[in-house]
Amino acid sequence: MSSESSKKRKPKVIRSDGAPSEGKRNRSETEQEGKYYSEEAEVDLRDPGRDYELYKYTCQELQRLMAEIQDLKSRGGKDAAVEIEERRIRSCVHFMTLKKLNRLAHIRLKKGRDQTHEAKQKVDAYHLQLQNLLYEVMHLQKEITKCLEFKSKHEEIDLVSLEEFYKEAPPDISKAEVTMGDPHQQTLARLDWELEQRKRLAEKYRESLSNKEKILKEIEVKKEYLSSLQPRLNSIMQASLPVQEYLFMPFDQAHKQYETARHLPPPLYVLFVQATAYGQACDKTLSVAIEGSVDEAKALFKPPEDSQDDESDSDAEEEQTTKRRRPTLGVQLDDKRKEMLKRHPLSVMLDLKCKDDSVLHLTFYYLMNLNIMTVKAKVTTATELITPISAGDLLSPDSVLSCLYPGDHGKKTPNPANQYQFDKVGILTLRDYVLDLGHPYLWVQKLGGLHFPKEQPQHTVIADHSLSASHMETTMKLLKTRVQSRLALHKQFASLEHGIVPVTSDCQYLFPAKVVSRLVKWVTIAHEDYMELHFTKDIVETGLAGDTNLYYMALVERGTAKLQAAVVLNPGYSSIPPIFQLCLNWKGEKTNNNDDNIRAMESEVNVCYKELCGPRPSHQLLTNQLQRLCVLLDVYLETESHDDSVEGPKEFPQEKMCLRLFRGPSRMKPFKYNHPQGFFSHR
Amino acid sequence: MERAVLHAVPLGQMEVFQALQRLHMTIFSQSVSPCGKFLAAGNNYGQIAIFSLSAALSSEAKEESKKPMVTFQAHDGPVYSMVSTDRHLLSAGDGEVKAWLWAEILKKGCKELWRRQPPYRTSLEVPEINALLLVPKENSLILAGGDCQLHSMDLETGTFMRALRGHTDYIHCLALRERSPEVLSGGEDGAVRLWDLRTAKEVQTIEVYKHEECSRPHNGRWIGCLATDSDWMVCGGGPALTLWHLRSSTPTTVFPMRAPQKHVTFYQDLILSAGQGRCVNQWQLSGELKAQVPGSSPGLLSLSLNQQPAAPECKVLTAAGNSCRVDVFTNLGYRAFSLSF
């Protein structure tokens, strides 16, 4: 601090040399060289050791003087003041010396510092240089290593192998003589060649790209052309609809049908395809249509979780409501039954048109869980039919198709596997449900291509086209024959109920001109009643009187003679003949048990029926049989030998021309009518 | 049928027709083979069926044994009458007689050996042949039937030697009176006529219906069956079944049978008869009914006794008539079983 203050003071007081203040520096610089007292220079001259000795001596003197002063002051005296003053002046000189010494010390210090500082600066500079150089060395070294590590891009390129290169490259690039020796040149040459090739390929690539673009554009154009074609075709089709109708070639309709047909279950599909094919190929009177809801059919294939969720929801809901509303076991079973007997929503409808404009409408259904098909039938006629009482069952939908093939009564399910399913839900037989579901006839299954072999039950029965095709024609023909024969019978029954046997003109030759016996009654009887009759036991025993047949009673009279005829009408009429059993009440009761001639009469109508068939399709069989019965009764009554013991004339005079009245060991009457001669003879 | 079939069998057209045919079948004639093992039956459709009696009677007999071994179409019309010689089966029906070899008859497609037609007068209708009779001494065959004549045919040459006329209506039955030899014929005209074969003349006529004991006018006067035992004759039909003494032409016994009889035969000391009604009737010569054994047919037309010495095990009585069945009686007391067409 003191040095600082002295430093501060120094320039102010003595400054004519050395370091003046800044303000004065420039002014006094010019004067410096000649004539100022430089303390710095003095410092260099003096020896710091001697200055130190001086300093020590001065301090001692000062201390001594101070002590003398002290002594003088303490003894007090008048002379003291002069001696004190003397000593004081000497101390002041000493102080001056001290000051100078101090100054010198400071100057020395400063100089020393300056020198150190300079040296230090130099060292620093050198240090810095060193650092720089080191740094540069390092940098250069790094550069060197970098350069050494440098991989030229050209090494990444897969150049063609040397042999290939020399083979393929043109000589102006390969420059064999130069490059062989010099790897650098070689590499260069190779790179050149690579570049060359790449350029060429790039060229090709560009060309191909442009080609591709062209072709793409062409494709686009063509696609557009085609897509524009579709709406045009549609419009043509629309336009052609009226033409189609005019020409009776409903392609559009057929197309729509085929669309719907895709949703049919396999057996119905088989039926549809085969029936359509048959209708187109062989039988123009057959028309096929699909009925039902396609949406429901599509809905059948929805994933089952949806429906199950719904079910469980609804179940939960139901349980939440009162306990009374929970379905009872019976109702649950009923629902299960309904579920088992569920029909597919689509059905195939076949319409068979017959010659007299009557139509047989057949609707085929598919029971999904049971894998069988059923059919419902309906017959419509061109004109309204008045049904005679006895003809009630002839055209009823329940029985009109019964036994189309022998034994095919359609009351039992044809699929043996169904029995197990039925046991689960308590269905005894399908018979209870046929009115609602339709009849599962065997021929219906065959038309759907379903075959259920009895001997080897199969696990899954799939619909087979060939089975359907092989049965189609026969079945269609049988169906037509069936409808027509039933309709013919219908008409005939109306006439029979009025007591007239309608014999057509082309069958008149079978009978003599005059027939006296008359049909007075024609009624239908029940199966059980037929079985109870006493004169039908033979037929019952033979097994010809089953419950699929229709039974009738005819009554023929002449005079006092009454002939009862019980008739079995097989559903297969007219290929299977009706069977007559007779009972004659005249002079006692005569049946085939006690009268050979009654037996012969039965034989005439039952066994010799082929003569009575009439022109095909032999719808006249029944009426001819009845007419023949009347003729036979006539012959029987007229040829009865007269009992001589009884008085009076014969009740029935012989009007028939007969060669002989009796023949053979059984004494048969002449029942055979000969045309055109008109006489009766024996067989 | 052996069993009553009450459920409806699925019957097609063919089956129904066959069932009806069988229902209306009548077996008119039977004949036993010379070996005694086979029985031929002829029906109203003209078919002949050969049954194996030995197979049907054996202890291993099954249902098939009661069916014919062969059935073939022999005639166009009914086979009313059959007889067997020691090698041949002769069958007669509508106007002609055919011969079949018993040795060949079991083979399929058997053809007749020969066929002969007697010379008929009328051409309008072919008369049936109702009865055949073998005359062993002459080796000839007598045919009688619809043309009211008896024709005699030599079996070796096949020529018709003579025709015996006399009946006014067709002839039902014939019988041979061995000793004389004479032929008895019964016909629709109600008369039984005796013919001498050598002289070809009618020697005796019995008009049965004129005798009050036996005549039954409500049945008619026709004679359906005849059998003779040289001195005695039994005949029946419209009139009651009656035993006659031939020499005196008197009826000695009238059998109280209401139904007209179609076949009658002497057997040992009995008279067997069958006709309308199911039963085979066994009569004592005194006129008492010994037994009535029911058969399976509602009416019987022919009885056949198998008395061939070569097959004593097949000694049976067979009865056939208004059905497709032939009843076999091993013991005259009951029906053992029935053969069936």
ipTM for the assembly: 0.89
As given in the structure block, the two tokens for residue B338 are 């029935």
Instruction: Tell me which residue in B11, B19, B172 faces A406 most closely, judged by beta carbons.
Output: B11
Q: Is A660 on the interface with B (CB under 8 A)?
A: yes
Amino acid in the structure at residue B114: W
CA distance B28 to B44: 7
pLDDT, mean of each 10-residue run, chain A (683 residues): 50 49 50 65 81 88 88 78 84 88 86 92 96 96 91 72 76 70 78 86 96 96 91 86 74 76 85 86 83 80 51 47 60 79 86 84 88 86 77 78 82 82 79 82 86 69 80 86 86 86 85 87 89 87 84 90 90 85 89 87 89 81 90 88 67 80 86 84 82
Rounded to the nearest 10 degrees, the angle between the axes of helix A621-638 and helix A596-606 is: 160
Q: B254 with B213: CB under 8 angstroms?
A: yes
Q: Listing from the earlier edge strand, what are the strands of the sheet with B300-305?
A: B300-305, B317-321, B325-329, B337-340
Which A residues 585-644 touch B at CB under 8 Å? 592-594, 596, 599, 602-603, 606-607, 641, 643-644
Residue-averaged pLDDT of chain B: 87
B contacts of A599 (beta carbons < 8 Å): 24, 26, 322
What is residue B7's predicted lDDT score, i.e. its pLDDT? 45
Q: How far is A261 from A406, CA to CA, in rounded Å?
A: 32
Please name the member of B8, B22, B224 whose beta carbon is closest to the beta carbon of A665: B224
What does the angle CA A589 – CA A597 – CA A528 come to, to the nearest 5 degrees?
Answer: 55
Residue A308 CB coordination number (10 Å): 10
Give which of A68, A74, A71 is closest to A88, Cα–Cα.
Answer: A68
Kindly state whether A390 is in contact with chain B, defined as any CB-CB distance less than 8 angstroms: no
d(CA B230, CA A22) in angstroms, rounded, equals: 206
Q: Looking at residue B3, what is its pLDDT?
A: 39
Quickly tell me which residue has 């030697």 as its tokens. B161
Torsion (CA) A385, A391, A393, A399 in degrees, nearest 10: -70
Which DSSP helix (H) or strand (E) runs through B250? strand B250-254
pLDDT of residue A309: 46
Please spell the DSSP secondary structure of B117-182, one letter per residue: -PPPS--SSPPPEEEEEEETTTTEEEEEETTSEEEEEETTT--EEEEEE--SS-EEEEEEETTTTE
Strand B88-92: give its sheet, edge to edge. Answer: B81-84, B88-92, B97-101, B114-116
3-state secondary structure of A500: coil
**β B250-254/B242-245 pair status:** antiparallel
Describe chain B by its helix, strand, coil percentages, rounded to 5. Answer: 10, 45, 45
A407 touches chain B (CB under 8 A): yes
Question: Where do the domains of chain B lie, and which CATH numbers do they carry?
Answer: 118-254 (2.130.10.10)
User: Residue B213 — very low, low, confident or very high, per pLDDT cuts 50/70/90?
Assistant: confident
Tell me which of B263 and A177 has the higher pLDDT: B263
d(CA A521, CA A563): 11
Q: Say which amino acid occupies A638.
A: E
| pLDDT bucket at B106, cuts 50 / 70 / 90 | confident
Closest chain B residue to A604 measured between Cα atoms? B24
**Pairing state of beta strands A589-590 and B242-245?**
unpaired
What residues form DSSP beta bridges with B175?
B184
Distance from CA of A595 to the nearest CA of B (A): 8
| Closest CA relative to residue A621, chosen from A583, A575, A567, A667 | A575
Angle between helices A251-261 and A183-247 (to 10 degrees): 120
**How far is the C-alpha of B187 from the C-alpha of A558, rounded, in Å?**
32
Which DSSP helix (H) or strand (E) runs through A585? strand A579-585
Distance (Å, whole) CA A392 – CA A403: 18
Say if residues B244 and B230 touch (Cβ distance below 8 Å). Answer: no
% of chain B surpassing 90 pLDDT: 23
Whether the CB of A544 is below 8 Å from some CB of chain B: the reply is yes
Query: In chain A, which residues have their Cβ closer than 8 Å to the Cβ of B5?
Result: 541-543
Residues ≥6 apart with Cβ < 8 Å to B55: B61, B65, B69
Q: Does A543 touch chain B (CB under 8 A)?
A: yes
* Chain A environment of B128 (Cβ under 8 Å): 663-664, 682
Whole-number Å distance between alpha carbons of A207 and A188: 29
Task: Decide if A646 and B222 are in contact by the 8 Å CB cutoff.
Answer: no
- Give the pLDDT score at A312: 45
Q: Count Cβ atoms below 10 Å from residue B189 Cβ, excluding itself.
A: 20
Distance of residue A642 Cα from the nearest chain B Cα, in angstroms: 8
Per CB-CB distance under 8 Å, the chain A contacts of B4 are 540-541
Locate A222 and state its tokens. Answer: 């063509």
Helices (H) and strands (E) in chain A, counts: 22, 11
Residue of higher predicted confidence among B262 and A329? B262
- Are the C-beta atoms of A512 and A656 separated by less than 8 Å? yes
Distance from CA of A404 to the nearest CA of B (A): 10
**pTM of this structure:** 0.70
| Nearest-by-CA chain B residue for A682 | B125
pLDDT digits (tens, 9 = 90+) for B42-51: 999 999 999 9
Cα-Cα end-to-end distance for chain A: 179
CA distance B196 to B185: 11
Report pLDDT digits (tens) over B272-302: 999 888 889 999 888 888 889 998 888 899 9
Instruction: Identify the contact set of chain B against chain A, taking CB-CB distances under 8 A.
Output: 1, 4-13, 15-17, 19-24, 26, 28, 77-78, 80, 124-125, 128, 130, 146, 170, 172-173, 188, 217-218, 220, 222, 224, 262, 276, 298-299, 301, 322
Instruction: Decide: B314 and B36 in contact? Cβ < 8 Å.
Output: yes
A498 near B CB under 8 A: no
